[in-house]
Amino acid sequence: MTRLAAALVFVFALPLLAQTSMEKILLPVVVQTPVPGALGSLWKTELDLYYAGSQTLSIEGVDVFCPLPVCPAPPLDQRVELRNVVVRTAGGTLSAFLVVPASLDRDLSVHLRVFDISRTATNRGTDIPVIREAEAWTTPIQLLDVPTAPPFRSLVRIYDFDPREDHTVLINVYKLGVLLETRSVALHPPATVPNTISSPGYAEYDLSHIGDVGTNVRVEIVPLSAGLRFWAMASTTNNDTQHVTLTTP
């Protein structure tokens, strides 16, 4: 491995969870290899970190490209800024967890954005919320004013902080208080390596079929499984410009 290709690798084993209180940080969308979209779009995410704490910080499952002649040894020391961080995701998943000691969580700033590589001259992309474990919901989430009619298409994305096969939610779609449809949706765990924490459970629900019937709707996501800790958002894409906006709780 050359110096320019050197990487910092931050890993902890699952038994560490029994010794130290750890905090999951949800990255809702992680696209590290550009993915083609409609109208020639090419989608990618970028993750940046800044650690301002006074203690060293270990992060699970993160590789950080280091172009310096001499790369600092892991874990992170205070006041370190890292760009274009590479996240280890489970196969076939588009989301991930960072896992850090809970006592140091607030000293870590995390910035995540998604952008269209083919349009960077005119559009920098969209910031994606990064959700701390303490911010997970256990009560119904309301997503307001979600567009469903052309030129927009919207997708509801739901994330499970404690992935299990039997976790489900109820999705209710309303227009001015009138229930348009209701559907039970399973939150599927990721295909992950045993004894690791890498990705949340996930489900998505396409609202395109509602179209002009709803135009702009309220989407309610109700947890049906006891103790479910989850989060949800709707991503809306303009069919003409491919610009993405998000609706969050």
Residue 142, pLDDT above cutoff 90: yes
What burial letters (b/e) apply to 176-189, b meaning 16+ CB within 10 Å? eeeebeeeebebeb
Residue 111, pLDDT above cutoff 90: yes
> What is the pLDDT, as a whole number, of residue 83?
81
What are the extents of the domains in the chain? 7-134, 136-247
CA distance 62 to 41: 27
Cβ atoms of residues 126 and 196 within 8 Å: no
| Element (DSSP H or E) covering residue 19 | helix 16-19
Percent of the chain with pLDDT over 70: 80
> What is the pLDDT, as a whole number, of residue 196?
52
Residue 81, pLDDT above cutoff 90: no
CA torsion 185→189→190→193, rounded to 10°?
Answer: -170
Mean pLDDT score, 93-119: 89
Q: What is the pLDDT of residues 30-59, one digit of tens each?
A: 998 888 887 788 999 999 988 888 887 778
More confident residue, 20 or 27: 27
CA distance 103 to 161: 19
Region of poorest pLDDT, from 69-73, 89-93, 123-127 = 69-73
Give the C-alpha distances (Å, rounded to integers) separating 65 from 13, 89, 130: 22, 16, 21
Mean pLDDT score, 146-159: 96
Sequence-separated (6 or more) residues with CB below 8 Å from residue 176: none
Q: Which residues pair with 174 in a beta bridge?
A: 179, 218
Mean pLDDT score, 9-18: 35
More confident residue, 32 or 223: 223
More confident residue, 142 or 2: 142
Residue 148, pLDDT above cutoff 60: yes
Letter for the amino acid at 5?
A
> What is the pLDDT, as a whole number, of residue 76?
60
Q: What does the DSSP assignment read for 20-61?
A: S-EEEEEES----S-EE-GGG-EEEEEEEEEE--SS-B--TT
Quote the DSSP letter at residue 4: T
> What is the pLDDT, as a whole number, of residue 123?
81
The candidate with the shortest Cα–Cα distance to 184, out of 164, 167, 200, is 167
Q: What is the pLDDT of residues 194-204, one digit of tens each?
A: 545 578 999 99
CATH number of 136-247: 2.60.290
